């Protein structure tokens, strides 16, 4: 399958990971010398590790957050074909090294699946333009 826009492939991968029950985040966006994107990488949200320097800071007042990253290898890489400029999946890894949550918890607990409606975004933008602070905006929407 080939797509004319990389956003179409990203949406397809978002739908796939929603059904499978894992979150994603965007990894590297690689450009060529002309400044054009030549590769996008989408990763499992549990890929990587937290840097040790953050775990060894004991002078902080707040407790450390729970470590959730476990270097999960699941990813999707997309590239454009040189001849047609259509985007295709150049690498797809579907192996997770962690348990996936039940699908009934996906909407509530995975940040990549929490969506803000367009109406709420417009409302937040208008509140921000008149000088209301971001924490107060979030409190008003959460109420």
Which pLDDT value is given to residue 126? 92
pLDDT tens readout for residues 82-91: 878 899 999 9
Cβ atoms of residues 23 and 111 within 8 Å: yes
Residues 95 and 121 in one domain: no
The model scores a pTM over 0.85: no
The pair of three-digit structure tokens given for residue 132, joined into one six-digit string: 């209301």
| Arithmetic mean of pLDDT over the chain | 82
Backbone angles phi, psi at 124, to 5 degrees: -65, -40
Which pLDDT value is given to residue 24? 81
Please list the residues that pair with 43 across neighbouring strands: 25, 75
Residues 11 and 72 in one domain: yes
More confident residue, 142 or 36: 36
pLDDT tens readout for residues 54-71: 777 777 777 767 777 788
* Tally of domains within the chain: 2
Pairing between β-strand 37-44 and β-strand 75-80 as defined by DSSP bridges: antiparallel
CA atoms within 13 A on the CB side of 114: 4
For residue 30, being part of any structural domain is answered with yes
Residues 90 and 125 in one domain: no
Residues 49 and 76 in one domain: yes
Domain that holds residue 116: 110-143
Residues 55 and 73 in one domain: yes
pLDDT tens readout for residues 116-131: 778 888 888 999 999 9
Residues 71 and 129 in one domain: no
Quick one: average pLDDT of 95-104?
Answer: 77
């Amino acid at each position: 399958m080939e797509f004319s826009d990389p956003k179409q492939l990203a949406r397809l991968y978002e739908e796939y990971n929603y059904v499978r029950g894992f979150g994603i985040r965007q990894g590297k966006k690689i450009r060529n010398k002309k400044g054009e994107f030549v590769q996008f990488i989408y990763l499992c949200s549990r890929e990587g590790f937290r840097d040790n320097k953050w775990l060894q800071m004991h002078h902080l007042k707040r407790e450390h957050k729970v470590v959730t990253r476990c270097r999960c290898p699941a990813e999707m890489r997309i590239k454009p074909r040189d001849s047609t400029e259509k985007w295709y999946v150049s690498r797809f890894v579907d192996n997770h090294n962690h348990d996936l949550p039940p699908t009934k918890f996906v909407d509530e607990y995975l940040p990549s699946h929490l969506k803000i409606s367009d109406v709420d975004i417009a409302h937040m933008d208008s509140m921000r333009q008149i000088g209301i602070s971001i924490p107060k905006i979030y409190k008003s929407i959460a109420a």
